């Protein structure tokens, strides 16, 4: 995954972890397609003039750590590059319930199509970042490490949220670090046999 291919700018506070095959743009497109199908928002098409422009605000529904701002920008850009997004906070900042921490302006149809996908990612990432921050603060000076136990297809996004919350990533997958676990020992026939095959 190359950040430059995703439209990320150098000002991203916490860059996503590196993964050799993860296609973040593909995940964004899949999420948008899952929600809008091949028609877009049919209710919007039936009720709102196509060229109508609106302004929408991001409002914190609870106290916590905001995460997913950089990803939200990628999603808005994927839906409609003419949308103008402005943030009053950055990934990793504390937010309090009721705080307006960003806004988007542009075509109503585009904002509505992007909105739910943006909010779903941001809510998930903010929840992970908030819990990670609480655990990291409690565990200090020890480090909180994120394992591979993530929702399928969300690994990079989940691990990115951990970084934003102050944790660290252990390994991205089976490919980037040797880690002998009980299943390897059991299959090999015991600890003494594990070394025989390396």
What is the percentage of the chain residues whose pLDDT exceeds 70? 93
Overall average pLDDT of the 52-60 stretch? 97
Identify whether 149 is a catalytic site residue: yes
pLDDT at 144: 86
Instruction: Give per-residue pLDDT as tens, 60-106.
Output: 999 999 999 999 999 999 999 999 999 999 999 999 999 999 999 99
pLDDT at 196: 66
> Which position among 39, 84, 146, 149 bears the catalytic label?
149
Overall average pLDDT of the 12-19 stretch? 83
Contacts (Cβ under 8 Å, ≥6 apart) of 134: none
pLDDT at 1: 41
Instruction: Give per-residue pLDDT as tens, 150-195.
Output: 888 888 999 999 999 999 988 887 888 788 888 888 888 888 887 7
Q: Which is more confidently placed, 189 or 112?
A: 112
Residue 197 pLDDT exceeds 70: no
Cβ–Cβ contacts within 10 Å for residue 175, how many? 9
Residue 52 pLDDT exceeds 50: yes
pLDDT at 80: 97
């Amino acid at each position: 995954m190359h950040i430059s291919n995703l439209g990320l700018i150098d000002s991203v506070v916490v860059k996503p972890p590196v993964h050799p095959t993860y296609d973040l743009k593909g995940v964004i497109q899949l999420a948008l397609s899952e929600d809008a199908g091949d028609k877009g928002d049919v209710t919007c098409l039936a009720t709102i003039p196509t060229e109508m422009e609106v302004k929408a605000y991001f409002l914190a529904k609870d106290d916590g750590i905001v995460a997913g701002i950089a990803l939200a920008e990628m999603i808005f850009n994927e839906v409609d590059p003419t949308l103008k997004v402005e943030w009053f906070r950055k990934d990793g900042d504390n937010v309090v319930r009721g705080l307006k921490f960003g806004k988007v302006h542009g075509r109503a149809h585009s904002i509505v199509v992007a909105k739910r996908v943006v909010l779903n990612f941001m809510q998930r990432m903010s929840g992970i970042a908030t819990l990670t921050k609480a655990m990291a603060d409690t565990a200090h000076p020890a480090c909180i490490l994120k394992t591979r136990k993530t929702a399928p297809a969300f690994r990079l996004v989940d691990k990115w949220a951990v970084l934003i919350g102050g944790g660290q990533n252990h390994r991205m997958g089976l490919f980037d670090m040797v880690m002998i676990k009980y299943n390897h020992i059991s299959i090999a026939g015991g600890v003494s046999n594990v070394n025989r095959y390396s």
